[in-house]
């Protein structure tokens, strides 16, 4: 497996043990950490600020002996790296240029010293008096420097290092704390990864602020941010350094070191370069900005071949983590209820009609409507819950629908569709025992007609029940359950529907409503358009025909949120669901997803209004604008032509 083939790059941040002003010892420690990183197939590693000498040398920086030894140690590292072509290392040292001393980062690989980046923002406060020793990189006017006979580029402008798999830039410590960090310009110049060589001391509460800076900058720049800070061995005369190392990607923390460790610290993460570049393409504020003083440097970097990942792949991207559940799920519910509340307030409508089937989607729509009426101070009796049993309705779903409406205090109405649909079959000459798509869709359209007409009768608004996963797959009858007057679930994927209903049941409901909701949660997904089996149980189970919703929600999220292609989605799904689904099964359902997603766009092109809840939405007026006659061949052929993907013919059912 090549990590770079699927758009990832492995990086590391290190805080090795050191001795102040002992360049030989520090260089050996750096080498030892590099050897550890090589065993883990790291491709780029970043060390702290002034890591060759130590940050706390004070006036020893003025000593020529230390200056010369630092440069000699850098040359020693260059010789060491000559035999290790698979890794690029970034180290810090003091460097005398003409009559000034600069705090620089050196980028070293098997090719030699690729470039030098000077620190621009030099602190001069109560804790750090760097201006006593170092000049700002902004004052530098040379564009190369001689190191042991080698001409090395150095520039006050942006320096972008281009590898075959990603581009990176560098800033040093205080640069991040400046009002306009150099990394912001580096990101605009094309840096996917931003490295920071730092020496940040510890104070009570400071680490949380430092972490927030790293996360914020990675998010603002749509970049990865790799932060390595000085630690064990730095002088504690006045300050203590904890060896804080952080790796963030687009606002999310991927790895964090143990602080105050007495050992050398090394953290590793796999950066998703493809996702970062996709987000920048969608961000119109990312314009190519290359100052005249900027330099681009091409770097050799062989492909990485790790046997394990330093990254997890979330199989449930729409479901919040356990620690975020208490914040995210109430917010989802509020967005739904306030969207419906505004639509009712704008139209002056004070009644609503909801088709209640006893399934999850209609249950969530009813709960949203109830909460909305409570917010607006409208009586729940103004909510007309209509259950419409048909040929496939089971006792379980019918009972749950009736009991849920009764416990909620809404106006209940039961209208059987059997007689009306049977008459319709006679009118169009369709045999009642021919259970085909006409048989199914006639029932869905009859139910929608009832809801629409009853809304006209009561002066109400039909609240839609369909979810985003059904819209992606087209698992809705055109002008049947596909249509409503306001679709509160239209950006809620199926996996989130269940999670949200369970949260509402456990945190917002009392008995007996809670027990009813839990039984609804345990009911198999089904449109109940085919007759029940001999025991009266659901015979038509949705996931038997279209595949597991957990897979389809994962496919949809990767395609719409990150623009991933079929091969990459297949690869990521195999990682995320390695313990749940075989690779050939994932490939089968991925083909189903693409076929249905492209073929069913015409239903999404005229979908009703509904509130956007998360980062992914299928509204033709917002996030997803796709022609209804787009062809899926390019996507399907990519799967077909990949020898690693088995291609059994998938089961396809029209709906």
Q: Which residues are catalytic?
A: 49, 119, 173
Identify which of 325, 354, 582, 532 has the alpha carbon closest to the alpha carbon of residue 455: 354
User: Contact, 231 vs 267, CB < 8 A?
Assistant: no
CA-closest candidate to residue 383, choices 456, 488, 489, 461: 461
Task: Report the alpha-carbon distance of residue 53 to residue 25 in Å, rounded.
Answer: 9
Which residues, 6 or more positions from 111, have their beta carbon under 8 angstroms from its beta carbon?
Answer: 299, 300
Q: Which of 148, 96, 98, 99 is nearest to 118 (CA)?
A: 96
Q: Assign residue 161 a region: left if phi > 0, alpha if psi is -120 to 50, beta otherwise?
A: beta
User: What are the helix (H) ranges across 459-527?
Assistant: 468-473, 494-508, 513-521
Q: For strand 112-118 and strand 100-109, is the pairing parallel, antiparallel, or unpaired?
A: antiparallel
Which of 176, 259, 251, 252 has its CA nearest to residue 221?
A: 251
Cα separation, 589 vs 554, whole angstroms = 11
3-state secondary structure of 188: helix
Pair 20, 233: CB distance under 8 Å: yes
Q: d(Cα 136, Cα 134) in Å, to the nearest integer?
A: 7
Distance between CA 605 and CA 607 in Å, rounded? Answer: 6
Contacting residues for 162 by C-beta, under 8 A, at least 6 apart: 190, 296, 297, 298, 299
């Amino acid at each position: 497996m090549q990590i770079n083939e699927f758009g990832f790059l492995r990086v590391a941040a290190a805080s090795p043990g050191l001795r102040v002003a002992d360049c030989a010892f520090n260089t050996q420690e750096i080498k030892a950490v590099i050897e550890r990183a090589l065993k883990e197939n790291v491709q780029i590693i970043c060390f702290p600020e002034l890591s060759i000498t130590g940050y706390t040398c004070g006036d020893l920086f003025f000593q020529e002996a230390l200056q010369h030894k630092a440069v000699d140690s850098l040359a020693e590292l260059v010789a060491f790296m000559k035999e290790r072509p698979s890794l690029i290392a970034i180290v810090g040292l003091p460097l005398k240029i003409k009559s000034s001393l600069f705090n620089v980062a050196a980028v070293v690989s098997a090719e030699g010293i690729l470039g030098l980046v000077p620190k621009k923002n030099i602190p001069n406060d109560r804790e750090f008096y760097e201006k006593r020793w170092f000049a700002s990189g902004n004052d530098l006017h040379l564009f190369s420097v001689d190191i042991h006979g080698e001409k090395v580029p150095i520039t006050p402008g942006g320096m972008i290092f281009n590898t075959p798999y990603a581009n990176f830039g560098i800033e040093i410590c205080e640069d991040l704390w400046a009002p306009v960090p150099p990394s912001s310009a580096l990101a605009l110049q094309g840096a996917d990864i931003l490295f920071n060589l730092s020496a940040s001391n510890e104070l009570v509460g400071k680490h949380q602020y430092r972490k927030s800076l790293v996360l914020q900058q990675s998010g603002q720049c749509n970049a990865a941010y790799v932060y390595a800070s000085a630690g064990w061995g730095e002088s504690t005369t006045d300050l203590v350094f904890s060896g804080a190392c952080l790796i963030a990607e687009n606002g999310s923390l991927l790895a964090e070191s143990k602080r105050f460790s007495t050992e050398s610290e090394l953290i590793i993460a796999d950066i998703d370069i493809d996702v970062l570049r996709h987000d920048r393409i969608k961000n119109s504020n990312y314009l190519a900005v290359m100052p005249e003083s900027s330099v681009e440097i091409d770097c050799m970097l062989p492909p990485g071949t790790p046997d394990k990942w330093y990254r997890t792949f979330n199989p449930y991207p729409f479901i919040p983590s356990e620690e975020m559940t208490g914040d995210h799920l109430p917010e989802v519910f509020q967005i739904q209820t306030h969207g419906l509340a505004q639509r009712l307030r704008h139209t002056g409508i004070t009644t609503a009609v909801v088709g209640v089937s006893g399934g999850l989607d209609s249950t969530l729509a009813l709960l949203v409507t109830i909460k909305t009426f409570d917010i607006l101070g409208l009586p729940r009796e103004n909510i007309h819950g209509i259950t419409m049993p048909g040929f496939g309705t089971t006792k379980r779903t019918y009972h749950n629908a009736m009991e849920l409406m009764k416990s909620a205090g809404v106006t209940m109405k039961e209208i059987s569709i059997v007689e009306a649909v049977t008459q319709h079959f006679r009118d169009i000459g369709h045999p009642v025992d021919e259970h085909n798509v006409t048989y199914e869709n006639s029932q869905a359209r009859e139910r929608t007609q009832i809801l629409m007409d009853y809304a006209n009768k009561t002066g109400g608004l039909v609240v839609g029940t369909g979810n985003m996963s059904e819209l992606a797959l087209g698992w809705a009858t055109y002008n049947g359950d596909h249509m409503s007057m306001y679709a509160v679930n239209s950006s809620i994927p199926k996996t989130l529907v269940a999670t949200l209903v369970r949260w509402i049941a456990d945190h917002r409901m009392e008995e007996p409503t809670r027990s009813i909701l839990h039984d609804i949660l345990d009911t198999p997904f089904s449109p109940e358009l085919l007759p029940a089996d001999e025991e009266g149980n659901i015979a038509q189970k949705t996931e038997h025909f279209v595949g597991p919703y957990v897979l389809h929600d994962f496919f949809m999220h990767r395609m719409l949120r990150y623009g991933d292609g079929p091969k990459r989605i297949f690869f990521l799904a195999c990682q995320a669901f390695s313990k749940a689904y075989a690779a050939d099964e994932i490939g089968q359902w991925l083909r189903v997803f693409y076929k249905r997603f492209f073929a069913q766009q015409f239903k999404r092109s005229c979908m009703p209004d509904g509130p956007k809840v998360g980062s992914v939405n299928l509204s033709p007026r917002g996030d997803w604008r796709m022609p209804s006659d787009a062809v899926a061949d390019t996507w399907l052929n990519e799967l077909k032509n990949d020898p690693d993907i088995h291609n059994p013919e998938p089961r396809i059912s029209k709906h």
